[in-house]
Amino acid sequence: MEISHLQRARYAYNPKLPAILREELENIVLKRGETTEAVSDQGDLKLFFRNTYGKPIVGFEKGKNSDVGKKISVGVILSGGQAPGGHNVIAGLFDGLKKGSAESQLFGFLNGPSGLIENKWTLLTAETIEQYRNTGGFDIIGSGRTKIETPDQFAASLKTAKDLGLNAIVIIGGDDSNTNAALLAEYFVENGSSIQVIGCPKTIDGDLKNEYIETSFGFDTAVKTYSELIGNIERDANSARKYWHFIKLMGRSASHIALECALQTHPNICFISEEIQAKQMSLSQVINTITDAVVKRADQGDNFGVILIPEGLIEFMPEMKKLIEELNDTMGVYGHEFAKIDSFIERLYFLDSYISEASYNLLKNLPTQIAEQLLLDRDPHGNVQVSRIDTEKLLISVTEKRLAELKKQGVYKGKFSTYGHFFGYEGRCAAPSNFDADYCYSLGFTAFMLIATGLTGYISSVRNLTAPAEQWIAGGIPLTMMMNMEQRHGIKKPVIKKALVELDSVPFKTFAAQREHWAVNTCYLFPGAIQYFGPPEVCGQPTKTLLLERALKSG
């Protein structure tokens, strides 16, 4: 495989570790903190996780540990969507295992949890690991979205682990994947197995976090990649001075990516889905926000701008949310009948009998392309695939219509030319920033230490992340601590609660205090590409979100 000069240089980068993890392993012992409770539904979850609920938060300290050098075998799974730094989690886990005992082994399950269920794996060697250090992607073993949820799947997973003689399994993933890790840990204990399960917090969406998981890995790299692209577009807009750019960004449930990119680039407008929902803002109100800025900028001769849109925005507007829910309910009952209808017009007529008049009128009056996407793109459960809806094109179309009305009224005299963009996959497999390279390596090494100290049902935690790496605090928190019960397909199930943008948080308030000024004035920032070499203020800074959150807690 050919490699670039940058990749060759990245191979040589030595990720940093918290000071405690740089000690000789036999000098590191577990430090137990307070016992924990789930974020809500404590009674239900205590019954659900009879063996793994309520464990203490743990850290590490100096002491004598005679067990850490034992030979062990561990399996690792990459689960869900890709995020920059996953390879370094595996590298940190591998190096920890080998530092404990040169005879320890690491098995990589292929293409996600299905590899564990189907007993498909590869033995990861030093030669393999060396090819992937500090690189993006999940291609070392592949990933997948299979959920371990049926009795047969749980039984097959335990059989595979036993057949391989595993001592532990590490699941690297987001909220759903780590929910799987918690369920697997409980299942193993319930069935008399000592095989441990440890999770690692991954998702570029940034919605897997709390006091002890300050950020999920990959978020830093992804938002810096998107911000570079947004900055480039802002520079182009300010040069050409004739286009409005509507940029959709990853973030179906949470708007952390959009918020961070706004803080880094100062666009004219950035929508935050959580605010749209809290204020119950309709599509019309969203369009008003856009047209107000377009008209004011046009009055001063600026017929250009940049707008950031979270991909899940459409679901947070009340009338659109109701329409989508009604479509999902209808498809759940009449999906097979509906699928036989080829014509878009006939599909509309069909729905007239099954959805409310308000939803039907909304659907009928949407741009045809968007209405067709709402009707045609279904997931395996029959639900609308919101991420495939061209929300940016919807906003462009409705804004054009509104501006045409304002022009007739003599209110608007500018020109409105647009481009739509979607930045998604561009950020998922970027070469990790120095921050993510260090953070991910530390998460993997910490996962090994959690295994070596006999824990199960925990997620690897590395915090104090705005300080230099040697001051980072390594440890673990029980997966059940992050959980609540949610309705899924008509059944209440335990799931890790997503961390949404909090409207009273410092990052959001910082953004909100400036956005009216940004809307009318050209205040763009151009972050440029991720830098791997140079002074710490250039190549070692974490996200604005993390800096603002930590400044509040340390202040």
Element (H, E) at 10: helix 5-11
Domain locations along the chain? 5-218+432-488, 219-427+505-534
Summarised one tens digit per residue, pLDDT across range 472-486 is 999 999 999 999 999
Among 472, 426, 467, 429, residue whose Cα is nearest residue 92: 472
DSSP state letters, 78-115: EBSS--TTHHHHHHHHHHHHHHH-TT-EEEEETTTHHH
pLDDT computed for residue 382 by the predictor? 62
SS3 555: coil
pLDDT: which is higher, 1 or 298: 298
Tell whether the model's pLDDT for residue 44 goes beyond 60. yes
Residue 85 token pair: 């730094």
Residues marked as catalytic: 205
Our CA dihedral for 208, 213, 219, 223, rounded to 10 degrees, sits at: 100
Cα of first residue to Cα of last residue in the chain, in angstroms, is 49
Beta bridge partners of 74: 106, 168
Q: Are the C-beta atoms of residues 158 and 193 closer than 8 Å to each other?
A: yes
Residue 275 half-sphere exposure toward CB, CA atoms < 13 A: 18
Q: Are the C-beta atoms of residues 291 and 325 closer than 8 Å to each other?
A: no
Q: 């286009």: which residue's tokens? A: 243
Given the DSSP bridges, would you call strands 168-173 and 244-249 parallel, antiparallel or unpaired? Answer: unpaired
Mean pLDDT of the chain: 95
SS3 52: coil
Summarised one tens digit per residue, pLDDT across range 380-409 is 656 777 778 899 999 999 999 999 999 999
Tell whether the model's pLDDT for residue 430 goes beyond 80. yes
Neighbouring C-beta atoms of residue 345, cutoff 10 Å:
8
C-alpha–C-alpha distance, residues 68 and 99, integer Å? 9
pLDDT computed for residue 514 by the predictor? 98
pLDDT: which is higher, 507 or 383: 507
pLDDT band at 266 (very low <50, low <70, confident <90, very high): very high
Q: Are the C-beta atoms of residues 247 and 308 closer than 8 Å to each other?
A: yes
Residue 23 token pair: 């000690």
Backbone dihedral angles phi then psi of residue 291, each to the nearest 5 degrees = -65, -35
Backbone dihedral angles phi then psi of residue 121, each to the nearest 5 degrees = -155, 170
pLDDT computed for residue 336 by the predictor? 86
Topology match between the domains 5-218+432-488 and 219-427+505-534: yes
Q: Are the C-beta atoms of residues 387 and 252 closer than 8 Å to each other?
A: yes
CATH number for the region 5-218+432-488 comes to 3.40.50.450
Q: 């900055």: which residue's tokens? A: 231
pLDDT computed for residue 67 by the predictor? 83
Query: Average of pLDDT values for 455-470?
Result: 97
Neighbouring C-beta atoms of residue 73, cutoff 10 Å:
18
pLDDT computed for residue 196 by the predictor? 98
Fold of 219-427+505-534: Rossmann fold (3.40.50)
SS3 74: strand
Tell whether the model's pLDDT for residue 105 goes beyond 70. yes
Tell whether the model's pLDDT for residue 518 goes beyond 70. yes
Query: Average of pLDDT values for 36-62?
Result: 97
What pTM, to 2 d.p., does this model score? 0.96
Beta bridge partners of 350: none
Q: Are the C-beta atoms of residues 12 and 465 closer than 8 Å to each other?
A: no
Among 262, 261, 273, residue whose Cα is nearest residue 220: 261
Summarised one tens digit per residue, pLDDT across range 75-87 is 999 999 999 999 9
Tell whether the model's pLDDT for residue 246 goes beyond 60. yes
Instruction: Give the chain's largest Cα–Cα span.
Output: 81
Summarised one tens digit per residue, pLDDT across range 182-219 is 999 999 999 999 999 999 999 999 999 999 999 999 99
Beta bridge partners of 132: none
Q: Are the C-beta atoms of residues 179 and 495 closer than 8 Å to each other?
A: yes
SS3 440: helix
Summarised one tens digit per residue, pLDDT across range 341-370 is 988 899 999 999 999 999 999 999 999 889
DSSP state letters, 288-347: HHHHHHHHHHHHTT---EEEEEETTHHHHSHHHHHHHHHHHHHHHHHHHHHHT---HHHH
Q: Give the CA distances from residue 320 to residues 14, 283, 371, 488, 501, in Å, rounded to whole numbers and listed in that order.
A: 49, 8, 11, 21, 20
pLDDT computed for residue 512 by the predictor? 98
pLDDT computed for residue 1 by the predictor? 67
Q: Residues 6 or more apart from 503 whose CB is under 8 A from it?
A: 272, 274, 275, 278
pLDDT computed for residue 339 by the predictor? 84
C-alpha–C-alpha distance, residues 100 and 115, integer Å? 26
Query: Average of pLDDT values for 440-457?
Result: 98
Neighbouring C-beta atoms of residue 400, cutoff 10 Å:
14
pLDDT computed for residue 384 by the predictor? 76
